[in-house]
C-alpha cells in the first residue's frame, strides 16, 4: 500500500506535491538530490544511528500501563515512550537527521518554525551541538503559552523570532520561516518540524520519524509475540503519528487511529481538525486537507495544545484517510485535559497536552476491546512545558 509513496514528484495520491515560489524550486531540487544520496549512504545512516543511540537515548522503551489498563477495563495499553528522548519529544529524531543533512550540504545557518516549542528546542539543540547559527520562528500567542521552551531555545543559543502576522500561531511561524528561507537560501537549511511542506519534506521527515514505528514493532513482537491490535497517535501536522504508523502500513490487521484536536468541539468551529472537518486545498507547499472558508481563505484554529494548533496536516495522512487505511478521530480540549490528569495520577507519567489527545482517544477505545487485545499509543512528548497552561486552567476552574 502507501509504503512506496510518494511518487517522484512527491505525490501521495492527489496530495503532496511542490507548491512554492519559483525562487525555492532549485534549492528544493538540491535538497531532494542531497537527501536521495544521503538516505543510501551507509556512512550517513551510521552517523544518524549513532546519534540516535548515544545522543537521543534510543531506543525508547515501550511501557505496559497495567494500572491504567485495569482501570479502563478493556484492552491493554502500551506506550511508546518518546517523552523519554533527549529534549522531551519525538521531534529530535527528525531534527538530528535534517541537521546532519544540512552539515553534509555545507549549510551554516538553520531555521525552523515551532508551535509548542518542542521542534524549536530540538532544532536549537542540534544546532548548538553542530555549531550552526539557529533562528526559530514562533507565533506571539505560542511564545506566551510555551515560555519554558522559549527560554530553553534562547539558552541553547538560538534566536527566537516572534511572529505577529495572521493568527500568530504555528501556521504564521511557517509562513515567516518560508519568507526567511527564500531570502537567505544560499546558506540556510530549513528544518521543518512536521510531515508537511513541499516535497521532499513530508517523505524525509516521515523517514526520520519512522524509527519510532520500526522500534515499536520489533519491541512489541519481542514483548508479546504478536502485533498490537491498534495504534493511536495525535495528529497536528502528523509527524509522530506517521512515524509510528508507517512501519505498520502493510500490517493490515493493525488498526491505525490518528487523533486531531477538536478544541471546543467540532461543532463549535473552534478546533484544529482538518481531516475531520476540513477539505482539500493548497497551503505551505503541499495539497492536503485544510481548515478553510468557502473562499479558500485559511481560518484560525483553536486547540489547548500549541503543537496541534495548525490548519493543515501532512499529505500522507490525507492519503491514508481517503484510502481508509487509517481512521481520524478528534477529542476536545476538555477530554485531552482529563487524559492528562488520568495518566499522571494512574501511571506517574506527565504527558504533553498534544500526546494527551492520543491518550484520551485510547481511553475511549480500550473499553470496546477485550483484555486480550492491545493498543499501542505514541506518547510523543512530556508535559513539563505545559505546566503553566494546566495550572492556569486549574486556577480558572477554582
Residue ranges binding other proteins (CB under 8 A): 9, 17-27, 165-166, 171-172, 175, 178-179, 182-186, 280-285, 290, 292, 294-299
d(CA 300, CA 139): 13
Q: Is 260 a catalytic residue?
A: no
Cα 371 to chain centroid distance, Å, stands at: 30
Q: Which is nearer to other proteins, 52 or 313 (CB)?
A: 313
Q: Is 113 a catalytic residue?
A: yes
Q: Of the listed 113, 260, 292, 354, which one is catalytic?
A: 113
What Å distances lie between residue 205 and 35, 209, 283, 390, CA to CA? 11, 6, 18, 30
Least distance CB 284 / other proteins (angstroms): 7
Grid cell of 32 as nine digits:
531532494
Angle CA 296–298–299, to nearest 5: 120
Least distance CB 330 / other proteins (angstroms): 23
Q: Of the listed 60, 69, 82, 91, which one is catalytic?
A: 91
d(CA 200, CA 167): 27
Q: Which is nearer to other proteins, 10 or 351 (CB)?
A: 10
Least distance CB 100 / other proteins (angstroms): 24
Q: Which is nearer to other proteins, 171 or 357 (CB)?
A: 171
10 Å Cβ neighbour count for 29?
Answer: 12
Q: Is 8 a catalytic residue?
A: no
The strand pair at 109-114 and 188-190 is best described as parallel
Least distance CB 179 / other proteins (angstroms): 5
Can you list the pairs that 151-156 forms with residues at least 24 positions away whose Cβ atoms lie under 8 Å? 152/117, 152/121, 152/124, 153/114, 153/117, 153/120, 153/121, 153/124, 156/121, 156/124, 156/125, 156/127, 156/128
Least distance CB 189 / other proteins (angstroms): 15
Q: Which is nearer to other proteins, 30 or 391 (CB)?
A: 30
The residues annotated as belonging to the active site are 91, 113, 380
Amino acid at each position: 500500500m502507501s509504503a512506496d509513496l510518494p511518487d517522484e514528484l512527491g505525490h501521495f495520491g492527489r496530495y503532496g506535491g511542490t507548491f512554492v515560489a519559483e525562487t525555492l524550486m532549485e534549492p528544493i531540487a538540491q535538497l531532494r538530490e542531497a537527501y536521495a544520496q544521503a538516505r543510501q549512504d551507509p556512512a550517513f545512516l551510521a552517523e544518524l544511528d549513532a546519534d540516535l543511540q548515544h545522543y537521543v537515548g534510543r531506543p525508547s522503551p515501550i511501557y505496559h500501563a497495567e494500572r491504567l489498563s485495569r482501570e479502563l477495563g478493556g484492552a491493554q495499553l502500551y506506550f511508546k515512550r518518546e517523552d523519554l528522548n533527549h529534549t522531551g519529544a519525538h521531534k529530535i529524531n527528525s531534527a538530528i537527521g535534517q541537521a546532519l543533512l544540512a552539515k553534509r550540504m555545507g549549510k551554516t545557518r538553520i531555521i525552523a518554525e515551532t508551535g509548542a516549542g518542542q521542534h524549536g528546542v530540538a532544532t536549537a539543540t542540534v544546532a548548538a551541538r553542530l555549531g550552526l547559527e539557529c533562528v526559530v520562528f514562533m507565533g506571539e500567542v505560542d511564545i506566551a503559552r510555551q515560555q519554558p521552551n522559549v527560554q530553553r531555545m534562547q539558552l541553547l543559543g538560538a534566536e527566537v523570532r516572534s511572529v505577529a502576522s495572521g493568527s500568530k500561531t504555528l501556521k504564521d511561524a511557517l509562513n515567516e520561516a518560508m519568507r526567511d528561507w527564500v531570502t537567505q537560501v544560499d546558506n540556510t537549511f530549513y528544518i521543518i518540524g512536521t510531515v508537511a511542506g513541499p516535497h521532499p519534506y513530508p517523505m524525509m521527515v516521515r523517514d526520520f520519524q519512522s524509527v519510532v514505528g520500526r522500534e515499536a514493532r520489533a519491541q512489541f513482537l519481542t514483548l508479546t509475540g504478536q502485533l498490537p491490535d491498534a495504534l493511536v497517535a495525535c495528529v497536528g501536522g502528523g509527524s509522530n503519528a506517521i512515524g509510528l504508523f508507517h512501519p505498520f502500513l502493510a500490517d493490515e490487521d493493525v488498526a491505525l487511529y490518528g487523533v486531531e484536536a477538536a478544541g471546543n468541539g467540532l461543532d463549535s468551529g473552534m478546533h484544529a481538525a482538518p481531516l475531520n472537518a476540513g477539505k482539500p486545498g493548497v497551503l505551505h507547499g503541499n495539497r492536503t486537507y485544510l481548515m478553510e472558508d468557502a473562499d479558500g481563505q485559511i481560518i484560525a484554529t483553536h486547540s489547548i495544545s500549541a503543537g496541534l494548533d495548525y490548519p493543515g496536516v501532512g499529505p500522507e495522512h490525507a492519503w491514508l484517510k481517503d484510502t481508509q487505511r487509517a481512521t481520524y478521530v478528534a477529542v476536545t480540549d476538555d477530554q485531552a485535559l482529563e487524559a492528562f490528569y488520568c495518566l499522571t495520577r494512574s501511571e506517574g507519567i506527565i504527558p504533553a497536552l498534544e500526546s494527551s489527545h492520543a491518550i484520551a482517544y485510547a481511553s475511549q477505545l480500550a473499553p470496546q476491546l477485550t483484555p486480550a487485545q492491545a493498543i499501542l499509543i505514541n506518547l510523543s512528548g512530556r508535559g513539563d512545558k505545559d505546566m503553566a497552561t494546566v495550572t492556569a486552567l486549574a486556577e480558572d476552574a477554582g
